[in-house]
Amino acid sequence: MKTILITGGTGSLGHKLVEWLLKSKAYKIVVFSRDELKQFEMAQEFRDERLRFFIGDVRDRERLDRAFDGVDYIIHAAALKQVPACEYNPFEAVKTNIIGAQNVIEAAIDRGVKKIVGISTDKAAQPLNLYGATKACLEKLFVAGNSYSGAKATRFSVVRYGNVVGSRGSVIPFFKSLAHTGKIPITHPGMTRFWITLDEAVKFVFGCLNCMDGGEVFVPKIPSMRIVDLAEAICPGYEQEIIGIRPGEKLHELLLTKDEARRTIDNGCYIIQPEFPWWTEEKREGKKVPEGFEYCSGTNNMWLSVEELRRLI
């Protein structure tokens, strides 16, 4: 019986979050986004009186103040996330992903929102591109938001995960669009990525929202896949043309760095704990990860086979 708002609520994750929430006992679900057409389409698809729509941009602090009125929980998923677009339009990425996060934090505190989860990415761990750097800033801002909240009840945490199967802009529809050519471009034969389904991502986000104390960065344990295996799963037997790693890309992604491991515990998922959690006296239970540990897609102990990828797709 709570009111939950999702920024970027018409995106792939937002759409799936709404789908799950409508099966719950949520009192009201607010979709906050810039795209009126997608909002209209969602309203036609779900047709539920608990669903509300706000046209707005996280860059607009006044609009956030209005939208957050009476909201209990927020999932902040709004972002510019296409790596090439962020590289070509860096000021726009900063305005949405960093200034937008600051606006969300300040409006949430002023409106008395109870819990806010920010959605991050593996590209925020030792970022190589601007998108990853802006998400790394979001993580820092959200952790610090607990200090800005002070004695107030508003708490902020972050969820960080890897590539999402079937999300908009993923490599899957790109590979499928080339099926008629008989040839698939591969950036590097050794490239690996973390992989999570939309349903798994939603379940993890809700789990973290439920158990968060504030200031944590939650990292799920998810499998890795090889790009060449993904290409084979989508277009079996096709020629794979090596075209080289693109600007801003890594060969392998990190979900947890060696430096972060010093303040990370394992209790089913990895939890990077805040360095200065003066706003809480709670001590979270969990096993401390080993010194020098890192969670890398290239050295992961869980891998998806071609057959498993084909089933997921």
Q: CA-CA distances (angstroms) from residue 120 to 47, 111, 255?
A: 30, 23, 10
CA–CA separation, 100 and 96 (whole Å): 5
List 16, 81, 123, 250, catalytic entry: 123
CA–CA separation, 155 and 108 (whole Å): 9
| 123 among known catalytic residues | yes
- Residue 264 neighbours by CB under 8 Å, 6+ apart: 256, 270, 271, 272, 273, 288, 289, 293
- Residue 150 neighbours by CB under 8 Å, 6+ apart: 279
CA–CA separation, 75 and 52 (whole Å): 15
Which amino acid belongs to residue 46? F
Which residue, 225, 208, 7, 217, is CA-closest to 100?
7
Q: Which residues are catalytic?
A: 123
